[in-house]
A and B are shown apart, each in its own frame.
Chain A
Amino acid sequence: QQQVKQSPQSLIVQKGGISIINCAYENTAFDYFPWYQQFPGKGPALLIAIRPDVSEKKEGRFTISFNKSAKQFSLHIMDSQPGDSATYFCAASMRETSGSRLTFGEGTQLTVNP
């Protein structure tokens, strides 16, 4: 059962534009929401993460917006650059006694044109 739905599947933006990727989750027990960036041939790399006690978190050009009541969260990439072209995955996990496994969205392939 897919518990995290991600959209769009692919996204093309121009250099300097804003890239927006959306995710929705079902399990209200989730309490940690990271975003990962993956380049071809590489492993996913943690980009930014948020916990449900805040509605927004910003790190440089990357911002997560979180809407707990709607069970949705999104990634905004400001001033998108060609080097941002990659696949982005949202994920969710819940607190467990000894670590947490991630449930991933389907991924969004972002292309930033120069």
Chain B
Amino acid sequence: DSGVTQTPKHLITATGQRVTLRCSPRSGDLSVYWYQQSLDQGLQFLIQYYNGEERAKGNILERFSAQQFPDLHSELNLSSLELGDSALYFCASSAGVLTEAFFGQGTRLTVV
């Protein structure tokens, strides 16, 4: 158990809908990262938050957004969902600069 908790584990939704994925980082970790894992794109970095502030953006679509709350949990919002958004979404957390990142179990999103 990495200490990073993601909910829900599975999510099935229809095209055009909006979903929210939730992540609770390890106790004390200030950085939260979101990654998308798909068969054709591998593991892709989406966005990073540090202590409530956005710090880095990767290949994140404009339809996607995230935030980190004062209690350090984070949410990833995916809207206007398309079939191609079906993937595993992972959250990871780390204590800070160049420290190990620990991944949650992921949320499997299926868009039908």
Q: Does A31 contact B (CB under 8 A)?
A: yes
Q: Once the chains bind, are B105 and A42 in contact (CB under 8 Å)?
A: yes
CA distance A99 to B68 in the complex (A): 15
A: contact size bracket: 20 to 34
CA distance A102 to B58 in the complex (A): 10
Which residues of A sit under 8 angstroms from B92, Cβ to Cβ? 43, 102
Q: Once the chains bind, are B2 and A99 in contact (CB under 8 Å)?
A: no
The residue on A at minimum CB distance from B41 is: A106
Chain B residues with a Cβ closer than 8 Å to the other chain, count: 30
Which residues of B sit under 8 angstroms from A85, Cβ to Cβ? none
Distance (Å) between the CB of B54 and the closest chain A CB?
10
Interface mask (A29-60 → B, CB under 8 Å = 1, otherwise 0): 00110101000011111100100000000000
Q: Once the chains bind, are B97 and A97 in contact (CB under 8 Å)?
A: yes
Q: Once the chains bind, are A104 and B42 in contact (CB under 8 Å)?
A: yes
Which of A13-21, A61-69, A76-84, A88-96 is found at the contact surface with chain B? A88-96
Distance (Å) between the CB of B99 and the closest chain A CB?
8
The residue on B at minimum CB distance from A34 is: B100
Distance (Å) between the CB of B102 and the closest chain A CB?
7
Q: Once the chains bind, are B45 and A99 in contact (CB under 8 Å)?
A: no
Distance (Å) between the CB of A109 and the closest chain B CB?
12
Interface core residue of B56, B101, B106 (most chain A CB under 10 Å): B101
Q: Can you list 26 residue pairs at the A/B interface with Cβ under 8 Å?
A: A31-B98, A34-B101, A41-B105, A42-B105, A42-B106, A43-B103, A44-B90, A44-B103, A46-B101, A49-B100, A98-B31, A98-B96, A99-B33, A99-B48, A99-B55, A100-B98, A101-B33, A101-B56, A102-B35, A102-B43, A102-B45, A102-B101, A103-B45, A104-B42, A107-B42, A107-B43
Interface residues, chain B, CB within 8 Å of chain A?
2, 4, 30-31, 33, 35, 42-45, 48, 50-51, 55-56, 58, 90, 92, 94, 96-106
